[in-house]
Amino acid sequence: MRVGRPVKAVPQPHCDYCGARAQLAQFGDAAYPYRDDHGAVWTCTPCGAWIGVRPRSKHNVPLGRLANAPLRDAKSRLHDMLEPLAEAKTRRDGISVFEARAKAIRWVAAELGFDPLPSSLHALTLDQCEQALRYVEVWKAHRHSG
Ligand SMILES: [Zn+2]
């Protein structure tokens, strides 16, 4: 356990599942969810939910909403499904893979009429992830058949 002054962080996100304030955990803290150092993470221990912070964020701005195991799983499936599209777009348009991933998420979200439009995969709810997975699956099937 690290001992020290509480980390000042703005904004402090809330856990979507229980409504409690998330706690910031660093590699080495008891609440830190990973075995390796993936940077600071906002966690809700009772819910088993967490989310990382934006790279180089001085204020530990969360990447999105806290995610429990089912949401983490859905996000990872959606990421895998969109990754070939993002990589193709990277080659075709000469943009970074990060930009291409963000564009892919915004494309699906716009097609499905999500409001507000998510800035990244990490902003999606479980329900939105599942809608997006179904949408991309159907879209890919049509594209390959036609
Ligand atoms: Zn919680």
**Residue-level pLDDT at 8:** 56
**Residue-level pLDDT at 47:** 97
**Residue-level pLDDT at 146:** 59
Ligand 1 midpoint to CA 46 (Å)? 6
**Residue-level pLDDT at 102:** 93
Ligand 1 midpoint to CA 48 (Å)? 7
Mean pLDDT by 10 residues, the chain (146 residues): 58 93 95 94 97 89 96 98 96 95 95 93 96 96 79
Distance CA 65, CA 42 (A): 9
- Alpha-carbon dihedral angle through residues 108, 69, 116, 134, given to the nearest 10 degrees: 30
The β-bridge partners of 24 are: 42
Helix (H) or strand (E) holding 25: strand 23-25
Distances (CA, A) of 59 to 16, 22, 46, 56: 20, 14, 24, 9
